[in-house]
Structure 1
Amino acid sequence: MTAPAHLTYVYAVVGDTGRVRTAVEGVHGVSGTTVSLLDEERAEEASAEGAEPPHRLAFVVSRVAADEFDERTLKARFEDMEWLEGIARAHHEVVQTLSRAGAVLPLRLATLYQDDRRAREALAVQRALFAARIALLRDRSEWGVKLYIGPTEPTEPTEGREAEPRGSAGTASPGKAYLRHRRAQHHAREDHYRNAQEAAQRIDTLVSRFGTHRVRHPAQRGALAGPEENVLNDAYLVPDDLTEDFRAALAAVATDLDGVRVEVTGPWAPYSFAMPPPPPEPPREDPAGDGPA
């Protein structure tokens, strides 16, 4: 048996609906490949006349060159940040496009199967899990909520002179002025942290009204956070009909608290709530020379 020329790349699981099938038309994914739906194996379904058919699922797939996505090549290319960024961007664009047409369950980057038959087998094996997650995600979107503490910038003291009570003729040394300045910074920072705790408590109380699910992510550090300090980085699964109320309520959370800022972003495809199954084994060379196992 010769090795296959193509592998099946899977982006996500979706409900197999007319709207999704329309949305996938003309979409291109990794390496510019055409994206399509790989539906479930058709089964004879005995049902009463006029009864609603069961929700069908499908993989969102494209066919990629085997020599570009086999195990050996992927291992090397995952060290190439430029290539990896391009693949990640293409993968995300497919998921985000399909999310506008219905519930989408994103799968991990470079989820690959030897062919469509193997992919359909995996879809069948994991169907119950996929169906449960799709049901949870239906008519909901992911929103990010971040809480930041701003930099502390009290007024710089006049060089060599400490602020004195009116009428005082005393002159503070540069050392004393510096220490006073540092104490002011410290007190302002403490106030900002207390305000951040208050804002976080308000957020917890507020979002509980929306009956949403939450995932806590690690706070961002360094360049990702910018000059501010990120102290909360949560994702929420918000019902679509409550989106505007959710955003408006969060916008008012910290308006009376100095030194803190709440940022709300979205809607996003629900990566934080995907819970993909264990990844399949990547294609590997068969010892007998029969191609990927």
Structure 2
Amino acid sequence: MRDDHPGQGVYLYAVTYGGTAGERGEVPAGVRGIMSGVMSGVMGGVMGGVMGGVVRPVPRGGLVAHVSDVPLDRFGEEPLRRSLEDLDWVEGVARAHHRVVEALAAAGPTAPVRLVTVYTGEDQVRDLLDLRHDDFMEILSHVAGRREWGVKAYLRRDTPPPSPAPSSPAPAATTAAGGDSPGMAYLRRKKESLRGREDLWRAAAERAELLHAELGRIAVASRRHRPQDPQLSGRSESMVLNGAYLVDPAREEEFAAVLDSCRGRFLDVELTGPWAPYSFTSIDLGAGRGGGVR
């Protein structure tokens, strides 16, 4: 057992399968391959943990938690509140966190934990693995051999509005006859334009619903996230679908074919991934906040 430094916390990235050797404090054989890739990246300067920390395994009861040390003067409860206001700092932490998780997920089933999950020492991490052992085992079994794909659908800007249903003679005829003043004609055109945009958005939303349902039938599991703000998506078009799908490799071609069939009128569809299964490994670790020392 290692001695935890009083000025340091233990940052948890993810949990993976391990072996019974973990009960004796040894690194399980099945984890050595995973960690060799992670550690070779650290030593080569390509990949490290948060704030340059060295990622190491903490085995327990057939599971392995992957952790690194972080200073409590940045990750303690009070300092963390200030740190989270620094967007550049948060982005750096997120990149390092995801880099470790993606390396682990590339090697085997992985249950990522929420960003900035910090414990006072390894004993607390082992207690977590004991307490939530069955939950982690169930999650790892669920994601084993599967990959997460993201699908974003946007309202196409170049799509003409749906054709209006036949109705009585158009208001323009009345205008031509001199029935509208210039001001009234302007308001009428503006109202018609607004109605056209609303019809277009409604049609795109309906197609997005159908797309999500069809992809959900192919996937093992699906999640629908909130649409992203244009500042996050990097696109000015309205996002009508922000979905995540856990897919068996054997059905990925079928999954892609559904996406291809939905590209075109109303929707601009974007596929991202594959990702570590962030959307399908959520587990309540017993804290009432998004991060900080436990």
**Fold equivalence (TM over 0.5):** yes
Q: Which of the pair is proportionally richer in helix?
A: 2
Matches within 5 A, 1:119-268: 119-151=125-157, 175=183, 178-179=186-187, 181-182=189-190, 185-225=193-233, 226-255=235-264, 257=265, 259-268=266-275
Task: Please state how far the C-alpha of 1:196 moved relative to its aligned partner.
Answer: 1.4
The separation in 2 between residues aligned to 1:231 and 1:29, in whole angstroms, is: 35
TM-score by length of 2: 0.75
**Residue in 1 that maps onto 2:36:** 22
Whether the aligned pair in 2 keeps the contact of 1:24 and 1:35 (CA below 8 Å) is yes
Q: Per-residue CA shift, 1:5-35, capped at 9, x if unaligned?
A: 4322110111232442333223411111111
**In the alignment, structure 1 residue 68 sits paired with structure 2 residue 68:** no
Identity of aligned residues (%): 37
Task: Please state how far the C-alpha of 1:181 moved relative to its aligned partner.
Answer: 4.6
Letter in 2 for 1:271: Y
The separation in 2 between residues aligned to 1:184 and 1:153, in whole angstroms, is: 16
Whether the aligned pair in 2 keeps the contact of 1:10 and 1:59 (CA below 8 Å) is yes
Whether the aligned pair in 2 keeps the contact of 1:5 and 1:65 (CA below 8 Å) is yes
Letter in 2 for 1:37: P
Q: What stretches of structure 1 of length at least 5 have no aligned partner?
A: 42-55, 155-163, 285-293
The separation in 2 between residues aligned to 1:208 and 1:215, in whole angstroms, is: 9
Cα distance, 1:280–1:68 mapped onto 2, change above 3 Å: same
Whether the aligned pair in 2 keeps the contact of 1:141 and 1:268 (CA below 8 Å) is yes
Larger Rg: 1
The separation in 1 between residues aligned to 2:159 and 2:143, in whole angstroms, is: 43
The separation in 2 between residues aligned to 1:197 and 1:67, in whole angstroms, is: 47
Letter in 2 for 1:137: V
**Residue in 2 that maps onto 1:48:** none
* Poorly superposed stretches of 4+, deviation over 6 Å: none
Task: Please state how far the C-alpha of 1:89 moved relative to its aligned partner.
Answer: 1.5
Matches within 5 A, 1:110-125: 110-125=116-131
Letter in 2 for 1:192: L
The count of aligned residue pairs is 259
Question: After the TM superposition, which of the residue ranges 174-183 and 209-218 deviates more from structure 2?
Answer: 174-183
Give the CA RMSD over aligned residues: 3.3
The separation in 2 between residues aligned to 1:34 and 1:59, in whole angstroms, is: 14
The separation in 1 between residues aligned to 2:293 and 2:208, in whole angstroms, is: 46
Q: Per-residue CA shift, 1:134-172, capped at 9, x if unaligned?
A: 111111122122222134787xxxxxxxxx99xx9x9x9
